[in-house]
Structure 1
Amino acid sequence: MANEQPNLIWIDCEMTGLSLLTDALVEIAVLVTDSELNVIGEGVDVVIHATEGQLEDMNDFVREMHTNSGLITEIPNGIPMAAAEAKIIAYLESASTVAGKSPLAGNSVGVDRSFIDRDMPSLSAYLHYRTIDVSSIKELARRWYPKAYF
């Protein structure tokens, strides 16, 4: 009998900071894999427009990170949030995910999920309530198998 597990939705977000009260979601990258971690489709990476004020409010650490990656120069030409959300959902539908059944996966995705919940309600509703956070696995491995971890 074949393994009929829903595909996994891997997401990585970049923000202007970590505060849901003041910071903006400025980039979201999405890949879908099957349960064996085979990538399905090309994935999607979208840069989202932020206001000049939101960019000015970034702290030095975040500004340096986004400057070094080149993201800082892409943000002013980013697409609107609604267009980014629609592009992501179109990819998810093309990649054989199941709305409400495919879990979010990624590294330290708790904050990412909070920004998705706030800014992309349709994507939030599309994701299963369960999350696969690989940083949890890393932390457990570091504690249980320190020699193997390092």
Structure 2
Amino acid sequence: ASATLTGGAVVRGGSGLKLLRTKLFLITVVFSSRQGPNLIINQPDELLDSMSEWCKEHHGKSGLTKAVKESKISLQQAEYEFLSFVRQQTPPGLCPLAGNSVHADKKFLDKYMPQFMRHLHYRIIDVSTVKELCRRWYPEEYEFAPKKAASHRALDDIRESIKELQFYRDSIFKRKTDEKKRKLIENGESDKAAS
């Protein structure tokens, strides 16, 4: 259980195709303090056959393609399960979508799981953005950032994203404000008075 993304859901999914033709086939939700459903969604053979070569190779090696074919879970069932889980964890409009390159996931979720997305906050926490800022502004610290295993499975990606964001929090986003200065600022006084 991590406190990194308290109240945030991290979702990964997609098949590597253009949004208009693509369907979700693997989706997982994890609150930083609790894991939710980890579902593989059934998709027709035509969709699997039309995947890019990269997707065919990687999803074939990982066993995901086979699992998608064998799954009995529909997209509607998956959305219901995720929405039910998220509603138990957080009130509407408070939970941000978070993860690496999550803006891409958001496009799929907006299209295929609109009720789920309506429950979430409109803002997202994109760990990839933090990574790029760290790489540019703090290159020494960036060298120590956790490396991805690149399994391309949702739950692994989420766990790696949480671990990565924890690293940035602990290494880059350090609290520098002393207690006296913080109290002055909280009370609306100028931070110059704290100096």
Q: TM-score if structure 1 supplies the norm length?
A: 0.86
Structure 2 counterpart of 1:125, from 71, 93, 118: 118
Alignment correspondent of 1:88:
82
Deviation at 1:93, TM superposition (A): 2.3
Structure 2 counterpart of 1:77, from 70, 79, 87: 70
Number of residue pairs matched by the alignment:
138
Deviation at 1:12, TM superposition (A): 1.4
The runs of 5 or more residues in structure 2 that have no matched partner are 144-195
Q: Does 1:8 align with 2:14?
A: no
Q: Does 1:27 align with 2:26?
A: yes
Q: Which amino acid aligns with 2:52?
A: N
Q: Percent identity?
A: 36
**CA offsets, 1:7-43, max 9 Å, x none?**
1111111x2224111112111010012xxxxx22x32
The runs of 5 or more residues in structure 1 that have no matched partner are 34-38
Q: Tell me the distance in 2 between the aligned counterparts of 1:97 and 1:69.
A: 33
Bigger relative CO (Cα 8 Å, ≥ 6 apart): 1
Q: Tell me the distance in 1 between the aligned counterparts of 2:26 and 2:139.
A: 34
Contact 2:6 2:31 in 1 (8 A): no
Secondary structure in 1 aligned to 2:85?
helix
Q: Tell me the distance in 2 between the aligned counterparts of 1:68 and 1:143.
A: 34
Deviation at 1:59, TM superposition (A): 0.9
Runs of 4+ in 1 over 2 A off after TM superposition: none
Deviation at 1:141, TM superposition (A): 0.2
Q: TM-score if structure 2 supplies the norm length?
A: 0.67
What's the RMSD between the two structures over aligned residues? 1.5
Deviation at 1:62, TM superposition (A): 0.8
Structure 1 counterpart of 2:49, from 31, 43, 56: 56
Alignment correspondent of 1:36:
none
Q: Tell me the distance in 2 between the aligned counterparts of 1:77 and 1:129.
A: 34
Q: Tell me the distance in 2 between the aligned counterparts of 1:77 and 1:89.
A: 23
